[in-house]
Structure 1
Amino acid sequence: MKLPTACCILLTGCFSYQEVTLKGITDVSIEQMDQNGVSAQVTVRVDNPNAFRIRVGDPDVDLFLNDSPIGKASIDSTVVLEKRTEREYVVPLRASFNGGGLPAMGALLSAAFGGKVRVKASGTVTARALLLRKKIPFEAEHELDLGR
């Protein structure tokens, strides 16, 4: 009877999870854009204080341009967060525009005259590590300079 209890206590300690923190978006590089969406490389700074690597994928992300909703985003591949590190990760992103892309393209064109646009992403991603699986909510903003 003591052995199963000891095993449960030991395994619980091994699977102790600390919150992963999205510190922010440090860069956005647009690869391709058309009326249906945009492909980009987004560099994010993430802190993983855990003693194990975490695989991040399966996003449910809403995108906003100057506070106007423009569509949904998906990532092209799973991102692996290294254990006990705070570092930058490049995330390949594909965004699909709402309404055939006209609202988003209009917002981008009007923002182009101002030179800068505020991009916001909010939603959840699924994190997997060992036997754990957890949806992690996040929200991040980045000012994109369209003149560069």
Structure 2
Amino acid sequence: MKRKIIIEIISSLLILLFLYASVSKWLAFRTFIGDMNNQPFPNWMTPYLVWSIPFIEVLIAIGLIFEKTRVPALYASLVLMMAFTIYTVAVLCHAFLYIPCSCGGVIKKLTWPQHLVFNLFFVGISILGIWLKKREPVAAVRAVEA
């Protein structure tokens, strides 16, 4: 029972993160586009990134809601947060000349070291969620599915 509560808390935190991030990007869409154009990626990628990133964040959040899609969504959370974390590490290692933050809302106000801690927290809880789901008794999983 305790495991289920922890999994629910982890899923809820990730849902809040991804919904908040995607909605704040859409609410300040022009700013988000400008920030993405200033990233160290080629500008031809901007149209794909500005539509796909918020969309993927929403898909992951929806996947985390449902028991049948929770494990794939936890893996997707891990992959996305790892990508953001690798980018943050590259920024902190001065790999880029100009480093705008294309995050949305209050997350944009974080310093790069704070971004790293923030991202590592969500990487960690994604890993914990995956681990807890994999250790769930099979009978409990079947009971939920029925």
TM-score computed with the length of structure 2 as normaliser: 0.24
Q: When you count helix as a share of all residues, which structure comes out higher? A: 2
TM-score by length of 1: 0.24
Larger RCO, structures 1/2 (Cα 8 Å, 6+ apart) = 2
